[in-house]
């Protein structure tokens, strides 16, 4: 039997060790030490990985092996490098993928193109709207005197009659003579423009009723249709379209552009100053006179007077056609350098003073050709002429001969070598020679 000191009833438990509480504290101590070891291990791993990351950035190809060049179809997930304690990772620059950049550039280009298309369409609509302001010109298309053979041979040329009339009011333009007759010849293949100015006093065939007369009088007899018919019949041309303007329209355009630069000859000053006042009386505007010869800027009335004066102490009436072409060319050149908004304003004011049978599209095409084409090549017709007084006592310019002048015209300006005029031209030429005595 055990002694009393082992007997539970007689034991003094005051000095016993509390076994349960001591075991719990021991377990917590061991767990804390294990966590510290794990954290230290992980910290060392992170520090080692970060050092490798820094070394790889400084020397990217230092530890590269040939196997690294082998391309595989599996993509490993990049591990974010662990920074040292209390250090912040430097900020990365945002990078866009190449495909995203290309898509963005394409979108920008498409937006720009779309804006340009919208602007171009708006410009075309504005110009087309202006074209609607041009007055309608009635022409009998069945009576234009175009020979079928000529129509075929000149199919690559668009010939337009530009007629300047001395009407004060465009409502009464049919009964007026033509002060200026310029044939605008557009070469469709080479995109060039020529001015063929027909001398107003040229003696030509009008029609069966009026016989032979100055070409300037035809418009007063038979209107624009009759003028086109005579030009086609006498010159072997294919004119179907015409633009009729009065001198007020010319003056308004020149004034709207701020004047045109023209070289005035000494022999032209006295004649210009003599008629500037008359021009101002008819169409209004300035009556400022010319003070000296040389290159200078002419206002609207000065430009009109310059184009209209008939006499020149140096060259006489034939210089008049040259002056008309100079005014047209100088106006076109000035328009090329003028602000589009200003041109729009000028056109809206002047176009109602113009009449034409051209469609809006055709008229706009011709205007664009004026701006981009070459206007330097021009001539006066006929090339050879002699003065003659007709049966009414009026002075005329007789072509010598009509046949040879038509041949030269087509060979030089329409590229038709060894040109043979139509039978109609040859018959008219013979009659003019018979009447005038010039062969």
Structure tokens at 65: 């092996």
Give the integer Cα–Cα distance in Å for 327 and 334. 11
Residue 14 lies in a domain: no
Helix (H, G, I), strand (E, B) or coil at 375: coil
Terminal CA-CA length for the chain? 176
Neighbouring CB atoms inside 10 A of 105's CB total 10
pLDDT given for residue 5 in this prediction: 47
Residue 55 lies in a domain: no
Q: Which of 421, 426, 428 is nearest to 153 (CA)?
A: 421
Residue 75 lies in a domain: no
* Strands 354-356, 203-207: pairing kind: unpaired
374-399 b/e (C-beta count within 10 Å ≥ 16 → b): ebeebbbbbeebeebeeeeeeebbbb
Token look-up 């008049």 returns: 320
**439 residues of the chain, pLDDT tens digit each:** 444 444 555 555 554 544 445 666 777 777 778 888 888 888 888 888 878 877 777 776 655 555 554 444 455 555 555 544 444 555 555 555 566 666 666 566 666 655 555 544 444 444 545 556 677 888 999 999 999 999 999 999 999 999 988 765 555 667 788 888 889 998 888 878 888 989 989 999 999 899 999 999 999 999 999 999 999 999 999 999 999 988 888 899 999 999 999 999 998 999 899 989 888 888 888 889 999 999 999 999 999 999 888 766 455 556 777 788 788 888 888 888 888 788 878 888 888 888 889 887 777 777 766 666 555 567 889 999 999 988 788 889 999 999 999 999 999 999 999 999 999 999 999 999 999 999 9
Residue 226 lies in a domain: yes
Tell whether the torsion through CA atoms of 170, 173, 176 and 182 is positive or negative: positive
Tell whether the torsion through CA atoms of 185, 187, 191 and 196 is positive or negative: negative
Total domains in the fold of the chain? 1
Helix (H, G, I), strand (E, B) or coil at 407: helix
Give the integer Cα–Cα distance in Å for 146 and 135. 25
The whole-angstrom distance between residue 143's C-alpha and the CA centroid of its chain comes to 35
Residue 119 lies in a domain: no
Residue 218 burial (CB < 10 Å; 0-12/13-18/19+)?
buried
Residue 390 lies in a domain: yes
Which residues are within 8 A (CB) of 130 and not within 5 positions of it... i.e. 6 or more apart?
Answer: 344, 347, 348, 351
pLDDT given for residue 90 in this prediction: 54
Q: Which of 314, 254, 311 is nearest to 286 (CA)?
A: 254
Helix (H, G, I), strand (E, B) or coil at 8: helix
> 228: domain CATH number?
3.40.630.190
Give the integer Cα–Cα distance in Å for 135 and 367. 16
Helix (H, G, I), strand (E, B) or coil at 427: helix
Residue 113 lies in a domain: no
**Greatest alpha-carbon span in the chain:** 181
Task: Read off the pTM.
Answer: 0.65
Q: How large is the C-alpha radius of gyration of the chain?
A: 47
Residue 60 lies in a domain: no
Which residues are within 8 A (CB) of 132 and not within 5 positions of it... i.e. 6 or more apart?
Answer: 360
Q: Which of 48, 395, 398 is nearest to 202 (CA)?
A: 398
Structure tokens at 124: 């075309």
DSSP β-bridge partners for residue 389: 395
Give the integer Cα–Cα distance in Å for 253 and 255. 5
Structure tokens at 164: 């300047």
**Domain span at residue 238?**
135-436
Q: Which of 349, 260, 322 is nearest to 297 (CA)?
A: 260
Residue 241 and residue 358 in contact, taking contact as beta carbons nearer than 8 Å: yes
């Amino acid at each position: 039997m055990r002694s009393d000191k082992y007997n539970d009833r007689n034991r003094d438990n005051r000095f016993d060790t509390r076994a349960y509480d001591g075991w719990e504290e021991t377990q917590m101590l061991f767990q804390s030490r294990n966590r510290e070891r794990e954290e230290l291990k992980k910290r060392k791993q992170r520090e080692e990985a970060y050092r490798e990351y820094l070394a790889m950035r400084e020397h990217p190809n230092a530890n590269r092996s040939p196997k690294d060049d082998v391309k595989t179809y599996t993509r490993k997930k990049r591990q974010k490098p662990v920074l040292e304690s209390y250090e912040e990772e430097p900020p990365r620059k945002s990078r866009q993928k190449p495909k995203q950049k290309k898509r963005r550039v394409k979108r920008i280009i498409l937006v720009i193109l779309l804006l340009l298309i919208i602007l171009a369409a708006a410009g075309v609509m504005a110009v087309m709207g202006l074209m609607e302001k041009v007055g309608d010109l009635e022409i009998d298309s069945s009576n234009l005197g175009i020979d079928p053979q000529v129509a075929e041979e000149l199919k690559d040329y668009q010939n337009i009659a530009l007629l300047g009339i001395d009407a004060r009011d465009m409502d009464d333009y049919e009964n007026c003579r033509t002060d200026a007759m310029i044939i605008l010849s557009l070469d469709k293949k080479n995109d060039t423009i020529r001015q063929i100015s027909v001398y107003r006093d040229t003696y030509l065939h009008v029609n069966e009723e009026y016989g032979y007369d100055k070409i300037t009088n035809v418009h007063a007899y038979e209107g624009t249709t009759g003028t086109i018919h005579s030009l086609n019949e006498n010159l072997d041309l294919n004119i179907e379209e015409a633009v009729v303007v009065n001198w007020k329209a010319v003056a308004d355009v020149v004034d709207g552009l701020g004047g045109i630069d023209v070289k005035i000859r000494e022999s032209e000053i006295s004649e210009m100053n003599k008629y500037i006042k008359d021009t101002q009386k008819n169409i209004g505007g300035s009556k400022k006179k010319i003070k000296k010869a040389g290159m200078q800027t002419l206002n609207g009335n000065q430009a009109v007077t310059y184009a209209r004066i008939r006499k020149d102490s140096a060259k006489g009436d034939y210089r008049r056609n040259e002056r008309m072409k100079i005014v047209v060319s100088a106006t076109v050149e000035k328009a090329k350098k003028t602000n589009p908004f200003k041109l729009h304003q000028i056109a809206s004011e002047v176009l109602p003073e113009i009449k034409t049978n051209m469609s809006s599209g055709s008229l706009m095409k011709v205007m664009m050709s004026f701006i981009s084409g070459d206007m330097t090549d021009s001539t006066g017709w006929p090339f050879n002429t002699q003065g003659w007084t007709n049966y009414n006592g009026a002075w005329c310019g007789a072509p010598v001969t009509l046949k040879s002048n038509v041949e030269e015209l087509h060979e030089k300006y329409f590229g038709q070598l060894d040109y043979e005029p139509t039978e109609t031209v040859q018959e008219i030429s013979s009659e003019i020679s018979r009447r005038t005595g010039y062969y």
